[in-house]
Amino acid sequence: MSTLFSYGNSLPHVRRNAVVQEPQSNSWSSLLEKWWSWNERNRQRAALRDIADDPHLLSDLGITREEALEQAGQPFWR
Encoded amino acid at 72, one letter: A
Residue 78's pLDDT is: 83
Our CA angle for 75, 29, 76, nearest 5°, is 5
Rounded Cα–Cα distance for residues 51 and 32 (Å)? 29
**Higher per-residue confidence, 3 vs 35:** 35
Q: Which of 1-5, 14-18, 49-53 has the lowest mean pLDDT?
A: 1-5
Q: Counting Cβ atoms within 10 Å, is residue 68 exposed (0-12), middle (13-18) or buried (19+)?
A: buried
How many other CB atoms are found less than 10 A from the CB of residue 78? Answer: 6
pLDDT digits (tens, 9 = 90+) for 27-78: 888 889 999 999 999 999 999 999 999 999 999 999 999 999 999 999 888 8
**Is the pLDDT score of 23 beyond 80?**
no
Average pLDDT of the residues in 11-35: 72
